[in-house]
Structure 1
Amino acid sequence: MLNKLIIVFISLVLTSCFFEKTKKPVVIIDRSTGQENIDFDRFSIIPQPEGQTVDRKIDKKTNSALIPVAGRIIQTFSKNHQGLSFATNFAQAVRAVKDGTVVYSGNKNKKNGKTIIIKHALGFYSSYMQNQTLQVQSGDKVKKGQVIATTGKNNFYFEMKKFETPINPIKYLK
């Protein structure tokens, strides 16, 4: 008798797994800003009625960033070279690849020359090195395509990171 009760109980538990339950909406939280329900197409907040989920496809074309400077890429991303080097002329415009906030603007590290680091949504950072002049300061908000610096005499160097992990910028640039 006890065995039959155990079998009935287990059967009920297992069959309940197959009944569709009301699904709760998926909430995505951006750690870097604390914002919820991020539209990865445009890196903005999605207005979402309560109880509904968001079903969007990521459009890689709208999710791409600008190339920071006009010039031929002379060295690509690798284990030993964690960014892109561009052959540039003196005093070319350097542009922000995406909207963000400048977290560093200066030349404390003489090896990298004058440097700008911008924090973007979703934990992305972009670094612009070997500049002649810097046109933004720490704390400034920048827009995608805004001129932030001019190139120096050395080849321009660009890096991207996701939090602290270096990533290949070529995957995000158009």
Structure 2
Amino acid sequence: MLKRIKLLLVIFISTTLIGCFFDTTPKKRVIIIDKSTGKENIPLLRFSEYAEPKKTVTKVKAPVKKIRNKQLKEKIIIAKKANMLPVTGKIIKTFSKKHQGITISTRAGQAVRAIRKGVVVYSGNKMKSHGKMIIIKHSLGFYSSYTHNQMLKVQNGDKIKKGQIIALTGKDNFYFEMKKFETPIDPLKYLK
């Protein structure tokens, strides 16, 4: 008798478990809502039973114009860098061992803007070869020098914001330097 009860119990449990695997009730469709875009019914690509059938869409690709001219590429790069420079103008001399900054072709009276926030550590014209000059100390040991100005708009100790007008250019081309502590660095690599 006990054997029959055990056998019936095993049969009942196994048929119940097997019935769970072969459930014939229709599955409910899952709706997924992407909260960032508000879109609904995003298909689950991992789970094929929930994925919507793929629609074949032929995309027409527009012809892509390739820039083959090396000089044009350089002009585009210079234009992007010009937005980050302290003054608007064409870079006429770049950084090298002999020329430890960049020279920018400017006209008199253009606005000179600070490249980053910092504190003015020098504002004056004691170095006659550089004309009126400003040196700003930035965080992490960076310094920036703005030379050949006709008018200085800041004084020693002033706190400067990024993009603030600090001077007006003079008749000579504008010269800009950057240093990391005492070592000259190429400004174009650090301007952002």
Distance (Å, rounded) in 2 between the aligned partners of 1:109 and 1:136: 17
Q: Does 1:126 align with 2:144?
A: yes
Q: TM-score, normalised by structure 2?
A: 0.56
Any residues of structure 2 matched to 1:73-152 within 5 Å, and which?
Answer: 73-152=91-170
Structure 1: segments with no counterpart, 5+ residues: 1-64
Inter-partner Cα distance in structure 1 for 2:142 and 2:184: 10
- How far apart in 2 are the matches of 1:118 and 1:83? 15
2: distance between equivalents of 1:118 and 1:90? 22
| 2:86 is aligned with 1:68 | yes
Q: List per-residue Cα deviations over 1:102-130 (Å, max 9, x = no partner).
A: 00000001000000000000000000000
Q: CA deviation at 1:73?
A: 0.3
TM-score (norm 1): 0.62
What root-mean-square deviation, in Å, do the aligned CA atoms of Structure 1 and Structure 2 show? 1.1
Retained in 2: the 8 A contact 1:94–1:151? yes
**Higher Cα radius of gyration:** 2
2: CA distance between counterparts of 1:172 and 1:143? 17
4+ aligned runs moved over 2 Å, structure 1: none
What percent identity do the matched residue pairs reach?
69
User: Equivalents in 1 of 2:85, 2:93: separation in Å?
Assistant: 15
The count of aligned residue pairs is 110
CA displacement at 1:66 relative to structure 2: 3.3
Larger relative contact order, structure 1 or 2 (CA cutoff 8 Å, min sep 6) = 1
Structure 2 gaps, min length 5: 1-82
Q: Larger helix proportion, structure 1 or 2?
A: 2
